[in-house]
Amino acid sequence: MKIKNIGASSAILESNGKRILFDPWLDDPIVYGSFFHWPPLKMSVSDIGKIDYVYISHIHEDHCSPKTIKHLNKDAEIILMDREPKISNYVKNFLKFNNFEFKKIHLIKPYTKKKISENLEVSFVEADENHIYNYMIDSGIIIKMDDVVVYNANDCSPCDKAIKYIKNNYKKIDLALLPFCGGSGYPNCYTNLSHEEKMIEAKRIKSQTYETFRKTAKELMPKWTMPFADQFVIGGKNSDLNKYSPHPPSPQDLKNYFKNKENINFLLLNSGQTFDFKTETKAPNEDFIVYSEKDREKYINKLSNVTKYDHEHFELSSSISVYRLVEYASKRMFSMQDKYKYFPEWKILFEINKKNGTSYYLIDLKNKKVSEIESKNNLKEPYLIMSMTRNFFILLLLGHISYNMCDGAFFINYTRVPNKYEPKLYTFLNFFRI
């Protein structure tokens, strides 16, 4: 049994000639021209070779890039967590929408074991139910091949229920792939925070993520633990905001953090490097490349010259009634509020910048009302102001742009008063589209 690290959330498990690809993303840039790998990959799509199985954890492009998927051999089999009819299978719908046809799709319910082949057994765990959006889309997988057990959490930070399931059903975990970064527009794009406040918040979030990593590793006690997923930077004109991301430049930073504190056996692999579980050797036999903050800054500076993001290559007609689109999109979000009984005091103000001025669309979530107002003055707390271009806003309303993805790409500026994180508020923004 071997694992080859590709980068970000992509890796390949191989045993007895059978190969499983995790979360295919090997092309740059993605997410409307903004996401780039960090560190840069040492592999391309052509280096993947023939794949027998593909596991896709969730719908985000850094886990299922269409540009990468279209190059995969079509006789491969897809492995997905399935909770239909309770929750729609977004990945299955994504594959169908893009006309990606593969040999077979294995749909497996969470917290159940399924034997895919003679030497391959799979089970799934869910995200925390308290984080509605993550719960709806994300998954973690446990793979048993030839008596080797690998737990891939990717972005799906394990909740107590998931940890309990893994401990009760697997005597040992040989390798745990655990998240150690995180990606969102906070604190990067929050205009009501100073530079110093953003730096403090980034440090706090990084420490919080490290603590989750520590807790999971301590609970599961895997033989090897590999920092995994969410390794990227933003290119283009928003690249300067990378400095506020709670991302270490290298997983070595995480290892150093726990030095002499926790008994965690780290596995660090370069892009393209393979680890053999039986011999516990790496190929090629090379030292792990430790990147510094200066290395990342130098790379980001190169990416800052990206001319335009995808949505900036055209201009939508001035005849489009934005207010009508807001009304339609709001109805969808309001119906989800009814479903989940969520009626907060928060108001959302969309500040939409156009060539000839600014428009303001106010969403009252408590009373489920929409209005167009003249200014952002005299807003009563609590409120969230979201500022973006008209072109971008229309694409967001039409569903051509995913809110959750564009948030992590720094396309939206925020003002939040008070500066208090309300998870459900951001969850329901994902339903604000036609």
Helix (H) or strand (E) holding 207: helix 195-220
Q: Which of 303, 320, 347 is the last residue of a domain?
A: 303
C-beta neighbour count of 99 within 10 angstroms: 7
Cα→Cα distances 103→72, 95, 106, 271, Å: 12, 12, 10, 28
Residues 272 and 334 in one domain: no
Question: 294 and 362 share a domain?
Answer: no
Does 288 map to a domain?
yes
* Cβ-proximal residues to 265 (8 Å cutoff; 6+ apart), any chain: 222, 223, 224, 225
- Quick count: other Cβ atoms within 10 Å of Cβ 390? 19
Judgement on whether residues 137 and 270 belong to the same structural domain of the protein: yes
Domain boundary, last residue among 246, 281, 303: 303
Return the residue matching tokens 């594959």. 95
pLDDT digits (tens, 9 = 90+) for 289-305: 999 999 999 999 999 98
- Whether 153 and 212 map to the same domain: the answer is yes
Q: Are residue 342 and residue 407 in the same domain, yes or no?
A: yes
Q: Please indicate, yes or no, whether residues 400 and 336 belong to a single structural domain of this protein.
A: yes
d(CA 145, CA 434): 43
382 lies in some domain:
yes
pTM of structure? 0.95
- Do 124 and 163 fall within a single domain? yes
**Number of domains within the chain:** 2
**How are beta strands 10-15 and 2-7 bridged, if at all?**
antiparallel
C-alpha–C-alpha distance, residues 153 and 138, integer Å: 10
* Torsions phi, psi for 274 (to 5 deg): -115, 140
Per-residue confidence (pLDDT) for residue 220, from 0 to 100: 97
Whether residue 320 sits in one domain with residue 296: no
pLDDT per residue as tens digits for the range 88-147? 999 999 999 999 999 999 999 999 999 999 899 999 999 998 888 889 999 999 999 989
Beta-sheet pairing, 148-152 with 175-179: parallel
Question: Do 349 and 210 lie in a common domain?
Answer: no
Joined together, the tokens standing for residue 238 give 């928003």
Contact criterion met (CB below 8 Å) for 51 and 20: yes
The token pair that represents 50 in the structure block: 């023939």
pLDDT band at 416 (very low <50, low <70, confident <90, very high): very high
- For the chain, the average pLDDT equals 95
Residue 139: give its domain's CATH number: 3.60.15.10
pLDDT at 73: 97
Supply the range of the domain harboring residue 112. 2-303
Judgement on whether residues 181 and 233 belong to the same structural domain of the protein: yes
